Amino acid sequence: MMMLFLVDVPDKARAGEVRRVSRGYARNYLLPKGLAEIATDETLKRLEKVKNEGDQQRARETQVVEELAEALDNLTVTITGRVTPTGRYYGAISGARISDALGELLERDMDRRITNGVEPIREPGEYEVVLNLSSEIRATVNVIASIEE
């Protein structure tokens, strides 16, 4: 079934694209949520308008991500944790803890997915962590892992 996507659907299509999808996916997911319409002659005439709206939305999202990258770049965050007698953390400092600490520092909600692929910090020290804010935009944060008193 040919569908005209009205909004970006991750891993499927961008707004304004016409793609073939299975009937069940269209009937049970795309149509009820208003993410796409069946591609007819009338909907294809609106295609250019939908593409422009999708491009504008992506541009706004990219601008927000770039502003976040500017705020995060070369920021230093300190995270503490208890250590074993051998000097390693009881449980590692995970990417989720790093994103939570950044959120507290910037006073905003941070998506934990930005720290996907970050190796857990197992020993105290200074680390440089690369955050994946989007597929093209990255930011580098300095993490100081210290011993909890």
Q: Considering the domain boundaries, does residue 22 fall inside one?
A: yes
DSSP-derived secondary structure letter, 140? E
Indicate whether 46 pLDDT > 80: no
| Cα 114 from Cα 103, distance rounded (Å) | 12
Tell me the residue range of the domain where 56 lies.
Answer: 2-62
pLDDT at 25 over 90: yes
Question: Phi/psi at 122 (nearest 5 deg)?
Answer: -105, -15
Same domain, 55 and 83: no
Return the amino acid letter for 88.
Answer: R
| Residue 57 and residue 77 share a domain | no
2-16, 44-58, 77-91, 121-135: range with lowest mean pLDDT = 44-58
- Let me know if residue 67 belongs to a domain: no
Examine the domain organization and report whether 95 and 124 are in the same domain.
Answer: yes
At residue 29, the pLDDT reads 95
Domain harbouring 135, CATH code: 3.10.430.100
**For residue 103, is it within any domain?**
yes
12 in the same domain as 39: yes
The strand pairing partners of 142, in sequence order, are: 76, 128
Count of domains observed in the chain: 2
- Give the rounded percent of residues in the chain with a pLDDT score beyond 90: 32
Task: Please say if the pLDDT value at position 54 is more than 90.
Answer: no
Task: Specify the 3-state DSSP secondary structure of 109.
Answer: coil
Contact 146, 136 (CB under 8 A): no
If asked whether residues 139 and 87 sit together in one domain, one would say yes
Residue 83 and residue 143 in one domain: yes
Q: Both 89 and 134 in a single domain?
A: yes
Q: Collect all residues with Cβ–Cβ distance below 8 Å to 128 and sequence separation of at least 6.
A: 140, 141, 142, 143
Q: Name the pLDDT band for 52 (thresholds 50, 70, 90).
A: confident
Which of 42, 62, 82 is the C-terminal boundary of a domain? 62
pTM of the complete model = 0.66
Q: Provide mean pLDDT across the span 130-149.
A: 88
Residues 58 and 93 in one domain: no
Does some domain include residue 68? no
Residue 132 has pLDDT above 90, yes or no: no
Read off the pLDDT of residues 56-110 as tens digits, 9 standing for 90 and up: 888 998 898 898 888 888 889 999 989 999 989 988 888 889 989 988 988 888 8
- Give per-residue burial for 14-29: e unless 16+ CB within 10 Å, then b: bbbbeeebeeeebeee
Taking CA atoms, 135 is separated from 25, 39, 55, 78, in Å, by: 26, 29, 16, 27
Q: What pLDDT shows up at residue 125? A: 92
**Residue 46 is part of a domain; what is its CATH number?**
3.40.5.10
Residues 84 and 121 occupy one common structural domain: yes
3-state helix, strand, coil in the chain (%, to 5): 40, 30, 35
pLDDT at res. 47 = 78
